[in-house]
Amino acid sequence: MRRTAIRLADGRELIYFDERDDAVRDQPDRRDLPPPPPASQLRYDPLTDEWVALAVHRQTRTFLPAADQCPLCPSTDEWLSEIPAPDYDVAVFENRFPALSGNLVDEPTEITPFTTVRPGQGRCEVVCFTDDHHGSFAGLPPHRVRTVLDALADRTVALGRLPGVEQVFCFENRGVEIGVTLHHPHGQIYAFPFVPPRTRSLLVAARRHAERTGGRNLYADVLAAERAAGERVVAGNGHWTAYVPAAARWPFEVHLAPHRPVPDIPALNEAERDAFGPLYLDLLRRFDGLFDAPMPYIAAWHQAPVRRDRELGHLHLQLFSVKRAADKLKFLAGTESAMGAFSNDIAPEQAAARLRAV
């Protein structure tokens, strides 16, 4: 894989990850762009012990443009996009409308004695999986999935070294039902200056289990139990297993986890990286086959924090959809949105059986 980094017209970084060693990426960004916006403001919620980002500049971000005005397609003589090259394999660049960035400004230190304020320090990147505007991740060949995985590993290491970054989160949103603002196949990476609530909950449970069992890894034990039970396993190979969690929150939710406990994507070995692509593509095609239509989904990589509690983590990909039937979506109503108490309309065992049958 050939890695080439350039700067866009406003100073943001773009990195090409090419599968050809002879790829030349010297095309300049010919646009006239304003400087990047200042970093967002983080406000602490004392009632929940959580940070909330106020990124008001994102209100004007690009929203579902026409195909010939897509900012993620390669540039042409008629249209200058975020990608100056006429083609690419995988491209990663700093988000033009980031929720977190290194463009810090002076901020007040508190709103009230209970609500402190800090800059939204970090970084947000966009990951373009293919230059084909009408493609999808499920349509990628296995070697391209490997390139994407290597790019995510590269960015996890690089972003984890930035000052103040506590966790690197890689994910893909697909489908207007999920809330995507660009149709082009792409994912995102957030370098958080704090450990997000979901990870904090996972760490609390993992630490409690380790203390009770003499240091055992909770996720590894749960994965072993699911593999032994088999009822909720959808597919697997010698290095990975895809299963529906016994307490799944979403109508169709699958965890794809390596058998060897590793903290993050960079820790995967060559064999594990090669084995991931074919199984993940099979899983995505099963999702699309459930209702014979492209399935809206979120694919979220759960990685250990970069600076602490890494021994408690177990890398896994959480794939889930808000679609519960061909013509029905799961909306987060009062109990889920207000209280975080989930209710699922489809039994995990039934969801696993339906996915196996596709």
> Tens digits of per-residue pLDDT, 39-91?
999 999 999 999 999 999 999 999 999 999 999 999 999 999 999 999 999 99
Long-range contacts of 75-80 (CB under 8 A, 24+ apart): 75/27, 75/30, 80/29, 80/30, 80/31
Tokens coding 191: 């370098």
Collect all residues with Cβ–Cβ distance below 8 Å to 63 and sequence separation of at least 6.
181
Same-domain check for residues 258 and 138: no
Same-domain check for residues 227 and 140: no
Helices 142-160 and 270-290, packing angle to 10 deg? 120
- Please identify which of the residues 134, 143, 186, 209 carries the catalytic annotation: 186
Q: Is pLDDT above 90 for 107? A: no
| 186 counts as catalytic | yes
Same-domain check for residues 27 and 171: yes
Dump pLDDT digits (tens) for 197-244: 999 999 999 999 999 999 999 999 999 999 999 999 999 999 999 999
Tokens coding 141: 């060949």
* Res. 106 pLDDT band, cuts 50 70 90: confident
Residue 204 lies in a domain: no
Specify the CATH number for the domain of residue 298. Answer: 3.30.428.10
Same-domain check for residues 234 and 156: no
Residue 348 lies in a domain: yes
Look at residues 138, 164, 194 and tell me which one is the last residue of a structural domain. 194
Residue 172 lies in a domain: yes
Residue 148 lies in a domain: yes
Q: What is the pLDDT of residue 108?
A: 86
Dump pLDDT digits (tens) for 301-312: 999 999 999 999
Strand order of the sheet with strand 41-45? 50-54, 41-45, 115-119, 110-112
Query: DSSP string spanning 92-136?
Result: EEE-SS-SSBS------SEEETTEEEEE-BSEEEEEE--S-TT--
Same-domain check for residues 224 and 326: yes
- Extract the annotated binding site for Zn(2+): 70, 73, 133, 184
Q: What is the pLDDT of residue 241?
A: 98
First to last CA, the chain: 34
Give the strand pairing for 167-174 and 233-236: unpaired
Same-domain check for residues 140 and 223: no
Same-domain check for residues 164 and 66: yes
Residue 90 lies in a domain: yes
- Extract the annotated binding site: 70, 73, 133, 184
Range of the domain at 282: 215-357
Look at residues 162, 194, 226 and tell me which one is the last residue of a structural domain. 194
